[in-house]
Structure 1
Amino acid sequence: MTLPSDVQDRLTCVANLLARPGQLDGVRIRCGAELLLTAVERSVARACGAEDSDEPAQALLISLPSHVDADVAYDVSQLWHALSRAIRHHGYELTPTAAELAGWHADTADVCAVLQPPLTLSGTIDLPEGTGETAAVR
């Protein structure tokens, strides 16, 4: 299953940052965390059917258990909070590390894949000639 391009682009960008760990400083790590956060938020919005709404991420996270498994919703919420803390850290806190960013990247890729809506078909399928019937797919 492929991820939507907006989510995949963010994951690819962070992977490119992680490919050069010597160049990762606190600012770049926080930028990577911000990219991962938006990927999670977009995946949550899609899973909740609210991708075109202005609903805040926190509200969507609250409603997420009604759309996916409760354990998945919990994992998504924990990841979202970790990324939120990483991008809004204070001067007296330690800067997130490249290893933490790599972990968040892997977790985000997993979460976004799980949150992909299942493929559903709807409409009518014409059966081969000679049967005289059509099948409705729901």
Structure 2
Amino acid sequence: MNAPRQARGGRGRRPGSPRRSTRPRAPRPTVAERFDVVDRLLDGEVTDAGGVWSRATAWILRLALEQSVDELWARLAPELMRCPMRAQLLALRSYAGPETAAQVATVWAALSRAAHHHDYELAPSVTELRRWREQSAAIAAVLSKVESR
């Protein structure tokens, strides 16, 4: 007997599973708001994060970077927003230039590695997180100025 097929991308609702909530979603934080939260985490203002604050910071930075890329696609090529991030990074070369695309890919990969917990690896240091924060902010500024070619 065949198992029920899920919708493309594996995100379909399985038979018998509860329906998704129809509550309105909270507004998406801006890139600047995400950087503000990162700054608060790095300055020690947020104490509720406990031992996961460094990985949470890496996740928020990665979200800010991805959102900056999303905003570029929303302006220039909305159809690319549905592609996987790795495909978007390849397409970025044509829109933002090879140097910027390489910077985005490098920081995104570093944040992806840092955000995932592995028992045999140390969490990212404050120095690394601050560097990634500055790089992400610089990239976001560059991407916000990219215009159609």
Task: Report the TM-score, using the length of structure 1 for normalisation.
Answer: 0.73
Which residue number in structure 1 is paired with residue 124 of structure 2? 96
Shift of 1:25: 5.8
Asked whether 1:80 is paired with 2:105, we answer: no
Asked whether 1:39 is paired with 2:64, we answer: yes
Query: Looking at CA atoms only, which structure, 1 or 2, has the larger radius of gyration?
Result: 1
Identity of aligned residues (%): 35
Could you tell me whether the CA contact under 8 Å between 1:47 and 1:64 is conserved in 2? no
Which residue number in structure 1 is paired with residue 92 of structure 2? 64
C-alpha RMSD of matched pairs (Å): 2.4
Q: CA 1:71/1:118 → structure 2, altered by over 3 Å: closer, same or farther?
A: closer
Letter in 2 for 1:93: E
Which residue number in structure 2 is paired with residue 110 of structure 1? 138
Letter in 2 for 1:13: V
C-alpha distance in 1 between matches for 2:147 and 2:107:
25
| Alignment counterpart, residue 20 of structure 1, candidates 37, 44, 48 | 44
C-alpha distance in 2 between matches for 1:51 and 1:20:
39
Shift of 1:45: 2.1
Letter in 1 for 2:135: D
Q: CA 1:51/1:115 → structure 2, altered by over 3 Å: closer, same or farther?
A: farther
Task: Report the TM-score, using the length of structure 2 for normalisation.
Answer: 0.68
Q: Which runs of 5 or more structure 2 residues have no equivalent in the other structure?
A: 1-28
Q: CA 1:12/1:86 → structure 2, altered by over 3 Å: closer, same or farther?
A: same
C-alpha distance in 2 between matches for 1:107 and 1:25:
25
Give the number of aligned pairs: 116
Q: CA 1:116/1:98 → structure 2, altered by over 3 Å: closer, same or farther?
A: same
Higher strand share: 1
Could you tell me whether the CA contact under 8 Å between 1:46 and 1:117 is conserved in 2? no
Shift of 1:64: 0.4
Q: CA 1:88/1:108 → structure 2, altered by over 3 Å: closer, same or farther?
A: same
Shift of 1:118: 4.8
Shift of 1:26: 4.7
C-alpha distance in 1 between matches for 2:134 and 2:101:
17
Could you tell me whether the CA contact under 8 Å between 1:21 and 1:98 is conserved in 2? no
